[in-house]
């Protein structure tokens, strides 16, 4: 049996990371479970993120840590829990549960479709105000009714700004 922590949970493929340590140059990097603390800044605030069991590549020779895609995803999930922000997966699931396309939801929220797409892929993290709006929209049909009033198929004049 392969150690499940060495498999990328998203792709089900073996995790790929450099076996060579960036610090001591030995080929001694392997997946280890570490306690990890960091400070992350988002939307004008700092968040203390503590991950007791982070699975990440670590050098058995000098102790150097590196972060592969899987570790980055895990850190992102802990950060979002700390900052109380919806995860990309959750945003997509809630939208799909309502039978909406990205375009429809983006129109209702008056944001660019590209912005919503970035939130759903995790490339961009939504601001707190938008996170609140998303939660209200997903949780309450009155909020949805309020925001979808303006939705029309011929409303081509609206050109939402792409948030960066
Ligand atoms: Zn090393």
Q: Ligand 1 center to residue 66 CA distance, Å?
A: 10
Q: Ligand 1 center to residue 61 CA distance, Å?
A: 5
Question: Which domains does the chain carry?
Answer: 4-83 (3.10.20), 88-148 (1.10.260)
For the whole model, what pTM was predicted? 0.75
Q: For residues 47 and 37, what is the distance between their CA atoms, to the nearest angstrom?
A: 11
84-132 tens-digit pLDDT: 999 999 999 999 999 999 999 999 999 999 999 999 998 899 999 999 9
Q: For residues 77 and 82, what is the distance between their CA atoms, to the nearest angstrom?
A: 9
20: DSSP letter: S
Positive or negative: CA dihedral 151, 154, 156, 158:
negative
Decide: 115 and 124 in contact? Cβ < 8 Å. yes
Confidence of residue 15 (pLDDT cuts 50, 70, 90): confident
Q: Ligand 1 center to residue 63 CA distance, Å?
A: 6
Name the least confident of 136-140, 146-150, 152-156, 159-163: 152-156
As given in the structure block, the two tokens for residue 122 are 């995790």
Q: Ligand 1 center to residue 11 CA distance, Å?
A: 28
Compute φ and ψ for 132, nearest 5 degrees. -60, -45
């Amino acid at each position: 049996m392969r150690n499940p922590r060495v498999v990328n949970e998203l792709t089900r493929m073996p995790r790929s990371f450099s076996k060579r340590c960036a610090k001591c140059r030995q080929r001694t990097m392997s997946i280890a479970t570490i306690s990890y603390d960091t400070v992350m800044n988002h939307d004008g605030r700092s968040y203390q993120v503590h991950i007791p069991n982070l699975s990440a590549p670590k050098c058995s020779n000098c102790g150097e840590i590196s972060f592969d895609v899987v570790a980055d995803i895990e850190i992102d999930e802990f950060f979002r829990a700390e900052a109380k922000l919806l995860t990309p997966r959750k945003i997509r699931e809630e939208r799909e549960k309502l039978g909406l396309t990205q375009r429809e939801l983006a129109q209702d929220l008056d944001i660019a479709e590209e912005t919503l797409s970035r939130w759903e892929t995790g490339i961009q993290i939504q601001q707190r105000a938008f996170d609140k709006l998303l939660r209200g929209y997903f949780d309450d049909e009155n909020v949805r009714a309020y925001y979808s009033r303006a939705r029309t198929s011929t409303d081509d004049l609206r050109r939402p700004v792409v948030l960066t």
